[in-house]
Structure 1
Amino acid sequence: MADFIQALDPSKLVLVGSAMSFVTSVFVAPVYNLPIFLFGMLAQESPDALQSLKAFTFMLGGSIFFDVIWLSNNSQNWFIKTITILILILKLPTVLAFATALRQRGASFSGLGVRGNDLSGATVWSMPGGFTSFGGGGRDGYQNVEDPAEGPKPLSVPPQPAQPVPAPAAPGAYQTV
């Protein structure tokens, strides 16, 4: 069984799944299949995108459960139902082939990549303005969220002496402006 899984080409499996999902997208069919398979096509092209391959593998595995629910709740044309069942059957070896490919690239599925309470890791995204999620340096002169605040900066212009305050006018007197 393991030799059979290793002999499968993940790129061809995801291409066939994309084509079959594209055919059913015109009809009443699960709307999530085509985006998931298209994401898989993009994820499998990059050799160093382990996080994307993990996400695709988990989404495709989860969509198997949703396909079973969708097939039990919807009645549609026999042709579309047959293609949807074929897509469901195709998802099983595709998930196994991608899981094998991930293991060969050194990825692990234990704990979904989270080690205990340690959520730190490589920065996957950064917020606008240079605030990053975890680690990394600020950009464009902005300070990272976890960096300590700097002390007060000295003024570049010396302060001007205070201007004398004029004495208030006597009550009832006229003032000229």
Structure 2
Amino acid sequence: MAEFIQALDPSKLVLLETGLSFLTSAFEAPVYNLPIFLFGLLSQESNEAVQSLRAFTFLAGGSIIYDIIWMARHDQHWFIRVLTIFIQILKIPTVLAFAAALRQRGGQFSGLSFSGNDIGGATVWSMPGGFTSGGREGYQSVEDPIATPTPKPALHTPATAPPPPPPNAPGAYQSV
């Protein structure tokens, strides 16, 4: 059985199911199948996208149950029902093939645990604008005091002359 799953091509399976879902989307059929399989097409294209591959595998596996519920509650034309059942049957090897591809890419399904403040792995980004305790790359951190420039004395102004009024900002309110 493991050799059979390894021999399956996930890209061809998801492409076939995308086409069948597109054909049935014009009729009374589950509307969620086409977006799920379009997401599957995108997720299997990238070799580094382990997270999206895992998400698609969970979505496709969970939609098998939704298909059963959907078909019990809706009436379909016999041909569309046959296609919907065929799509549902194809989901099982698709989920297994994507799970095998996920394991080959180094992903796992047990990575859903929360340990401390680490949610799903190491942080690979930092807040822009230096909102960290150490500040970085020329940004001022929140804890540093604001540096204010020292005013320069004016040249050639008499000591008795009043200071000039501040310039009016454009669009500011003025009193009369």
Q: TM-score by structure 1 length?
A: 0.75
Runs of 4+ in 1 over 6 A off after TM superposition: none
Matches within 5 A, 1:17-56: 17-56=17-56
Q: Does residue 136 of the first structure (1) align with residue 125 of the second (2)?
A: yes
Tell me by how many angstroms 1:85 deviates.
Answer: 0.4
Tell me by how many angstroms 1:66 deviates.
Answer: 0.5
1:10 is aligned with what amino acid? P
Tell me by how many angstroms 1:135 deviates.
Answer: 5.1
Q: Distance in 2 between matches of 1:135 and 1:104?
A: 23
Q: Distance in 1 between matches of 2:87 and 2:75?
A: 17
Q: Distance in 2 between matches of 1:21 and 1:151?
A: 57
Is the partner of 1:41 in helix, strand or coil?
A: helix
Q: Distance in 1 between matches of 2:68 and 2:22?
A: 19
Asked if the contact 2:111/2:120 (under 8 Å) is kept, the reply is no
Matches within 5 A, 1:120-159: 121-122=121-122, 134=123, 136-139=125-128, 142-144=129-131, 147-148=132-133, 149-158=142-151
Q: Distance in 1 between matches of 2:67 and 2:120?
A: 34
2:151 is aligned with what amino acid? P
Q: Distance in 2 between matches of 1:159 and 1:66?
A: 74
Aligned to 2:57: 57
2:103 is aligned with what amino acid? R
Tell me by how many angstroms 1:116 deviates.
Answer: 3.8
Q: TM-score by structure 2 length?
A: 0.76
Mark the runs of 5 or more structure 1 residues left unpaired by the alignment. Answer: 123-133, 164-177
Q: CA RMSD in A?
A: 2.0
Judging changes above 3 Å, is the alpha-carbon distance between structure 1 residues 158 and 111 closer, same or farther for their aligned structure 2 residues?
A: same
Mark the runs of 5 or more structure 2 residues left unpaired by the alignment. Answer: 134-141, 154-161, 163-176
